[in-house]
Amino acid sequence: MSLKIRLTRGGAKKRPYYRIVVADARAPRDGRFIDKVGSYDPMKSKDDPSRVVLEAEKIQDWLTKGAQPTDRVLRFLDAAGLAKRPARNNPNKAKPGEKATERAENKAKMAELKAAVVEVGGSAE
């Protein structure tokens, strides 16, 4: 049985509130869980200390038992100093896609053609 430390959503519509829980990886997001280890209220300001509340001892205990935190929970644990989150690097994310590259090439060709027409003495239009 693989364990996850993850968020479960609560709160009203458009007013989210999350509990940080330890659950079986196969259980539904808002379904059965084993232990509640914290809470996260995204509606509070970022500098509010009660925005993310963690029970450090319980979390350390579950981590030693092999529970794997999800990406979002790992961010919270890293900020609290309970776990280390490795840096990510995706150099391909900044590259434009095929269509954008094709449009840029077509635009450059049209600019060259207009420049050539103006040199010859014709109209650019």
Beta carbons within 10 angstroms of residue 30's beta carbon: 13
Contact criterion met (CB below 8 Å) for 96 and 107:
no
- Residue 73 placed within a domain: yes
Residue 26: give the domain boundaries.
Answer: 3-80
What is the reported pLDDT for 120?
A: 76
Task: Provide the pLDDT for residue 123.
Answer: 57
* Full pLDDT tens readout for the chain, 125 residues: 699 999 999 999 999 999 999 999 999 988 899 999 999 999 999 999 999 999 999 999 999 999 999 999 999 999 999 989 888 888 888 888 899 999 999 999 999 998 888 877 655 55
In this structure, the chain runs to a length of 125
pLDDT given at position 117: 85
pLDDT at 119: 78
| In contact, 20 and 37? CB cutoff 8 Å | yes
**Token duo for residue 61:** 């205990």
Structural domain total, the chain: 2
Q: What is the pLDDT of residue 87?
A: 84
Judge whether 20 and 35 are in contact, CB under 8 Å.
Answer: no
Report strand pairing: 3-12 vs 35-40: unpaired
Residues 66 and 100 in one domain: no
Q: Are residues 18 and 57 in the same domain?
A: yes
pLDDT of residue 95: 86
55 with 107, same domain?
no
Residue 42 lies in a domain: yes
Q: Are residues 36 and 59 in the same domain?
A: yes
What is the per-residue pLDDT for 118? 82
